[in-house]
Structure formats: structure tokens, C-alpha cells
Amino acid sequence: MRRREFIVTLGSAATLPALRPLASRAQQGQRVRRVGILTMTTLQARVDAFKKGLDALGWVEGRNVRFEERVTDEVGQLPAYADELARLAPDAIFVSGSPVLQAMRHATSDIPIVFAVVADPVGQGFVSSLARPGGNITGFANLEFGVMSKRLDLLKKLAPAIDRVAFLYDPGQTTAVGTWAEIEAAAPSLAITAAKVAVRTAGDIERAIAALARERNAGLYVAPGQATAQHLNLIARLAAQYWLPSAYSARDFVEAGGLVSYGTDAIDLSRRAASYVDRIVKGEKPRDLPVQLPTKFEFVINLKTAEAIGLDIPPSLLALADEIIE
């Protein structure tokens, strides 16, 4: 059930992309624009949100826009698909997630690329700065490291008995270092001992969670990353199986049976990315469009999971939740 929205202003309103009025939408007779899309199978909801955003701006598939899509469930296939899209030379390309942007970035330095849900784009070297990205890449970032400690705090409030947490992370995720630093700094103030555990495969995940389950008063903190996202159903299932309170960055994990998530609304960012593609195909340059920070965060609780692992959620926390899965 939808409770309320967390709205956090992280940038000047003047920098937010303005939606074009109806009168400025594509007119009949305008040439059909081609928009490339590179994505992972698990991220289809973001692509749907992006397309809806374009539709709201007057870009109707089959009338004035044509999509060139490449979708895969294997990270290793991304470079080949990125090269294919680059050879097609679309007017702009939409991507979501750091691995996807990395592949597309290597495929072209000329075609405009608009990203959504990419963490620390400056630190990862995708753009020169948030205010002036430079080059052919811009978009909507998804991570503020301060959110990490907030997620840990919520986990402690939901499961006060926990005094140790395993930080499950993908070592290939470039933002893992900053994420861990935030958790490591916040843990002592919550009377929690945190330990980081690198995972790459399903086997790694199974062994890590089974080992954690042998400890008393343990909880699970799952960091964003390709390996954890790819195995989200396995992680959520094992956490429930071992009665481990668990916190995640994305609602997908909670929908799969995880306990709680707090993080950026990826659907909102993907929808907003459409406004930059709209501006680019109308003549603006990616280098002049500032990277936008998140404005909307979601706090989601799976009440069914809480009951299954023996947690009694305080009414005060239920009242704060944006959504409760029953």
C-alpha cells in the first residue's frame, strides 16, 4: 500500500529538466527519430518507464520515434550489443546501470548517451563533473552514500536484536568501496559489527548466507551490484529460509521476499531520463546538460516476510513506509 513519498531536494530547481508543453511536441511530418536502448533483462521495468516518459513528451513509437533495442541477461554480451547499436548510429541511446553504461561508453564517443540509475558517475569516470559532464554522456545518477547508513539504521530499527551484519557485495562494482566505507563508519553507533563478504556467483552467495546463519543475532546487508542483482531471488529466498533480517537498495529484492529496502526510485529516474533524450534530439548537447541527482527515495517493507521470521514491526515504522507488501 502506498503511504507517502520521500522527496529530497539535492539540486537547484533550475537544473531540473523542464517538460515540454504539448504545443512543442513532435509535429506530423517530422522525421522519425531513432533511439537506441541497451539493457539487461532484469531491468525491463526501467525501459518501460523511459518509453512512457518519451510518450508523455509526444514521442510515439511507430509515428515519430523508432526504438533500436538490445537486451541481454549476460554482462559478457554487453560489449557486442553496444557495438551493434553504435553501428546503427541512432540519434541518442538510453542505458541503465553502470555495467551497461561502461559497455556503451567504450562503443562510441560521438552518439549521445543518456543514463539512469548509475552510481557516482564522476568517480567512475563517465563524466567530468555533475554540472558540466563534457563528452557525449549525461543522465540521472542514483546514489548518495549517506543513504547507505540510513538503510542500516532502518534494519536495526526493524530488528533491534541484531549486533552483527554481513555486507554482501559484488567486488566488480566500483562503488562498493564507498558503500563499505559508509557502512563501516555507521555500524559502531548502532552497536553493530559489520563484515564485508565478496560474492560473484550463486555458490558464493549460498556459502556466505549459510555461514552467516550460523551466527547469533545476525543480519544481512546487500550492496548494489551486478552479481547481487542477478541473484536477487536466491538472496531473498535464502535470507527468509535462514530467518535473517535483510536490507537492500532496491524494491525488487523486497518484492522477491526480502525484508526491507530503502533507496532511489529507479523507475522515477528512468522516466525522467526521457526528458534529456527529448532535449538532445531537439538539438541540445549532452555535455551541456548537468547530471541530475535523485529527488525521490522509497522505503518498502515486506510485512509477510517480517511475520515469517518472527519480527514485530513497530507502527511508527509502518507509518513511514512508502509501501508495505502484505
Whole-Å CA distances, 254 to 17, 242, 260, 263: 31, 16, 6, 12
pLDDT of residue 146: 72
Helix (H, G, I), strand (E, B) or coil at 2: strand
Dihedral Cα 268, 273, 227, 160, nearest 10 deg = -30
Q: Tell me which H or E stretch contains 138.
A: strand 137-141
pLDDT of residue 145: 64
Instruction: Considering the domain delimited by 8-143+266-294, tell me its CATH architecture.
Output: 3-Layer(aba) Sandwich (3.40)
pLDDT of residue 202: 95
Sequence-separated (6 or more) residues with CB below 8 Å from residue 191 = 156, 163
| Residue 48 CB neighbours (<10 A) | 13
Whole-Å CA distances, 119 to 4, 9, 36, 101: 25, 17, 21, 11
- The C-alpha cell at 124 is 567512475
pLDDT in tens, the chain (326 residues): 444 433 333 343 333 344 344 334 444 456 899 999 999 887 899 999 999 999 999 999 999 999 999 999 888 899 999 999 999 999 999 999 888 999 999 999 999 999 999 988 998 899 999 999 999 999 999 876 678 889 999 999 999 999 999 999 998 877 788 889 999 999 999 999 999 999 999 999 999 999 999 999 999 999 988 789 889 899 999 999 999 999 998 888 999 999 999 988 889 999 999 999 999 999 999 999 999 998 888 999 999 999 999 999 989 999 999 999 98
Q: How far apart are CA 154 and CA 58, in angstroms?
A: 41
pLDDT of residue 144: 64
Whether 146-263+299-325 and 8-143+266-294 are alike in CATH topology: the answer is yes
Among 214, 211, 219, which Cα is nearest to 160's?
219
Q: How far apart are CA 241 and CA 210, in angstroms?
A: 10
The domain made up of 146-263+299-325 is a member of CATH 3.40.50.2300: yes
| Residue 56 CB neighbours (<10 A) | 15
| Residue 89 CB neighbours (<10 A) | 13
β-strand partners of 114: 94, 138
This prediction has a pTM of 0.78
DSSP-assigned letters across all residues of 241-275? HTT--EEESSHHHHHTT-SEEEEE-HHHHHHHHHH
Q: Where are the domains of the chain?
A: 8-143+266-294, 146-263+299-325
Dihedral Cα 215, 216, 221, 222, nearest 10 deg = 40
Among 269, 278, 276, 270, which Cα is nearest to 58's?
278
Q: How far apart are CA 124 and CA 176, in angstroms?
A: 11
Helix axes 232-241, 202-213, angle to 10 degrees: 20
Q: How far apart are CA 26 and CA 201, in angstroms?
A: 46
Q: Tell me which H or E stretch contains 181.
A: helix 176-186
Sequence-separated (6 or more) residues with CB below 8 Å from residue 178 = 120, 123, 145
